[in-house]
Structure 1
């Protein structure tokens, strides 16, 4: 084999792509040609238009009736074997968490086949590899990325349910999610809950996005509504909880368990505005009472009564009497400053001892998660909402449908449509690599997770993944160039979409960011080494 000729063909295919990536990186880091907003706009254009047209073009021209099922089987077995191994490890070892399993699955099984794999393997093995890479791209878009999204939403559902229903999960019989909620991951906004207790004691839960919290509200988390009120009484702080259910007096409160009266507490939030000297009672009404502005309120904090009237001096609560309010979605407030006129000769009242709470007797022992039927419906609902908002889903499905029709009945695409798709798809590789260069420039560091983590991710990506792929390929009977193409495509760098999901769901984004960037930089020498070593095997 003339390795110099093959090397030149590979460089001729790949170097222009790296040139686009380098230009994008230098445009941001060195020449400051693009602002962050402009980079965001370019990336959005690439993800919404360029990549979907690019995917549609390659999938639509691929003959689905001549797919190599042994090649697909080898690739699918590699992913299933890794997934099964990670599942067993997480079941029998506490060191392998769900987050680690998702990250390891992404690193070892989801390469950047579309942007890097097609030109790279075309230069190594010719046009026969393009059809095989398109088959991998189609399965990734329709199957494996969907499975990855299911894993992320399953993790988000577990966290949400453990926060809001730690002792009542098995009592949930149905969960309805408002149409504006597209993910169970609470990143910027909390999810509010509404619960209805049915005649059989089961809970019907509704989820929706919480409204923005006003600046004169403080958010506090406790283990139950009783804890909220007890703490308010002990600290002499008046509070009111928002009530959003018509059929059940359910308090939006923090870190709760089951209750004895009605049998339910939510782990949501209770909003405590600074109110008058007496507690404002909870009311079961369809419309919530409007809360007076704090200019007309009377403050009572830690026994220090202060009328809210104009004054020029600012007093801060310090030391052990400092009130701190916590929220899962808000930062800790370091201190509360109150504009008021000081009142001398008033001594602080000592905090009374809280009365011990009786243990509930009528609450049944609950499991960690709702029934499998409820969880499955909830997760599939959220995954479906994600997929229908992703244009690449439509492009892959439409491309597959058109290829099935065109190759079955020899139907050709109209010239106007074909040329429109071709113009957009021709920009696919260049714009995709340009977008990756902008992504690299937007990161604070090339190796965000540290050198040790970069080495660990590189070992999983470039050694473990290809080794398992080689084993499954040999097991299904692949030989010759098919075996070599299968192994080399497994050694490609990580795709960008797993990082996007990891960033959105906050699951090891630094590791995957490093894997994407570092992998792109070393992808060419790594794949060339695999190509040369595999070429020596007859």
Structure 2
């Protein structure tokens, strides 16, 4: 049962995030310390240094041999359900959009497991809840955030290629060619209609993979899980000098991400940057659609009892901060993701308590 001490622990974990957020906001809005181009530089610092090191550090310290793989499989099933629904909507609906499908996937699936999830699930279900939420967080970093990064990089690379003028002149009349990725119809022109240069699907993939190879976010979690497998299999310990080099920046990961979000908010005309309707839309995806898909996946995989309860509650945790950093870096609905993070953390506590109370009454 959750007591006042448990509530305090959750508040204790969340308040420092809002302090960093307000400092970032004030440094731009009130004190005029940073200019817009400097704000972009801070976001890139977070995206390419502090977040990858933060991801590597917490991934490297897990024990994959002790994971609950039925729980991981249920997570995969829930994400596949969401992807299929969003793909169907984007392709078959007149209002469908692949760009909004990417953002909706982030809103439905990517959670802030470590900051809010660990203290809350510990209060609800003890060490078992903590273990499962950490497993989900690591798997999210390895698979879903990497997949999101791949799709965002493909979107940006496709736009870059489609905007490149043809270098060939005097050939046969230019023909419009639409390859499988033009089919993506990513808002604003990713339906690549190019002339005689006609880049193929594989040339686009080559560009994407080259850019991902230079992005530490794409392999920080992979390197971390490889180290975790080796360390736990043969009982290695990370040398102190390497651990120190990683820790010195990784500890700043979450704080600098919130600081960057505050800077972004300060540059918007309204406090609720995306407007009330999109805010409600984001909250519905975060706290209803995501947990519902997880419930379906968990029941389908045979999860029962407290494991099923933890699976549903951890899917209703507030929005991942990393999802905002990626949205800002790749210029895709950063206003929606920033609002989802900020308001999600505010409303998450009563929502999660409601889920906890309801699930305790329902036989699982």
TM over 0.5: yes
> For residue 380 of structure 1, what is the aligned residue in structure 2?
205
Check the 8 A contact 1:111/1:493 in 2, yes or no: yes
Per the alignment, residue 429 of structure 1 pairs with 254
Match of 1:452 among 259, 277, 287: 277
| Displacement after TM superposition at 1:8 (Å) | 2.4
Query: Residue in 1 aligned with 2:147?
Result: 147
CA deviations over 1:298-348 (Å, ceiling 9, x no partner)? xxxxxxxxxxxxxxxxxxxxxxxxxxxxxx99xxxxxxxxxxxxxxxxxxx
Judging by fraction of residues, say which structure has more strand. 1
Q: Does the CA contact (< 8 Å) of 2:9 and 2:119 recur in 1?
A: no
Say which SS state the counterpart of residue 185 (structure 1) adopts.
helix
Equivalent residues in 2 for 1:201-220 (5 A)?
none
Per the alignment, do residues 428 and 22 of structure 1 end up closer, same or farther by CA in structure 2, a change over 3 Å counting? same
The answer on whether the counterparts of 1:10 and 1:120 sit within 8 Å (CA) in structure 2 is: yes
> Which residue matches 2:296?
471
Deviations 1:341-361 (A, max 9, x none): xxxxxxxxxxxxxxxxxxxxx
CA contact (8 A) 2:157 2:207 kept: yes
Tell me what 1:161 maps to. none
Query: TM-score when scaled to structure 2?
Result: 0.80
Name the structure 1 match of 2:62: 62
Superposed displacement of residue 491, structure 1: 1.6
Aligned twin of 2:242: 417
Tell me how far apart the structure 2 counterparts of residues 38 and 503 of structure 1 sit (CA, whole Å): 14
**Which aligned pairs between 1:304-315 and structure 2 lie closer than 5 A?**
none
CA contact (8 A) 2:257 2:325 kept: no
- Which residue of structure 2 lines up, in the alignment, with residue 462 of structure 1? 287
Does structure 2 retain, via aligned residues, the 8 Å contact 1:153–1:185?
no
* Inter-CA distance 65–432: structure 2 relative to 1 (3 Å threshold): same
Kindly indicate whether residue 315 of structure 2 is the aligned counterpart of residue 405 of structure 1.
no
On the 8 A contact 1:470/1:487 being kept in 2, the answer is yes
Q: Please name the residue that 2:180 is paired with.
A: none
CA separation of 1:150 and 1:47: change in aligned 2, threshold 3 A: closer
- Measured after TM superposition, the shift of residue 80 of structure 1 is 0.1
Aligned to 1:201: none
The answer to whether 1:522 aligns with 2:347 is yes
Is the CA contact (8 Å cut-off) linking 2:146 and 2:218 kept in structure 1?
no
> Is the contact between residue 261 and residue 338 of structure 2 (CA under 8 Å) also seen in structure 1?
no
* 1:27-77 deviation line (CA, Å, top 9, x unaligned): 433344444455444333333322222211111110111111111111111
What is the 5 A alignment of 1:206-245?
244-245=167-168
Aligned to 1:183: 157
Deviation at 1:431, TM superposition (A): 3.2
Superposed, which structure 2 residues align to 1:121-140 within 5 Å?
121-122=121-122, 124-140=124-140
Pairwise CA distance, 1:10 = 1.9
Q: How many residues align?
A: 348
Q: Give the aligned partner of residue 488 of structure 1.
A: 313
C-alpha spacing 1:36/1:75, structure 2 compared with 1 (3 Å) = same
**d(CA) in 2 for partners of 1:153, 1:23:** 30
Of structures 1 and 2, the one scoring higher in RCO (CA 8 A, sep 6+) is 2
Unmatched tracts of structure 2, length 5 or more: 178-187
Structure 1 pair 407–93 and aligned structure 2 pair: CA distance change class (3 A): same
* 1:407-429 per-position Cα deviation (integer Å, ceiling 9, x unaligned): 11111111222233334333333
Please tell me whether residue 249 in structure 1 is matched to residue 222 in structure 2. no
Q: What residue is the counterpart of 1:308 in the other structure?
A: none
Residue of structure 1 in register with 2:86 after alignment: 86
Deviations 1:471-524 (A, max 9, x none): 221222223332232222222233344445555665544433432333233333
Q: Are residues 115 and 378 of structure 1, via their aligned partners in 2, closer, same or farther at CA, if it must alter by over 3 Å?
A: farther
Structure whose CA Rg is larger: 1
Structure 2 contact 10–116 (Cα < 8 Å) conserved: no
Q: Please name the residue that 1:30 is paired with.
A: 30
Please report how far the alpha carbon of residue 452 of structure 1 lies from its aligned counterpart in structure 2 after TM superposition. Answer: 1.8
Q: 1:152 to 1:15 in 2, by over 3 A?
A: closer
Gaps of 5+ in 1: 157-181, 194-243, 251-261, 268-327, 330-367
8 Å Cα contact 1:115/1:432 also seen in 2: no
8 A Cα contact 1:184 1:382, kept in partner:
no
TM-score (norm 1): 0.57
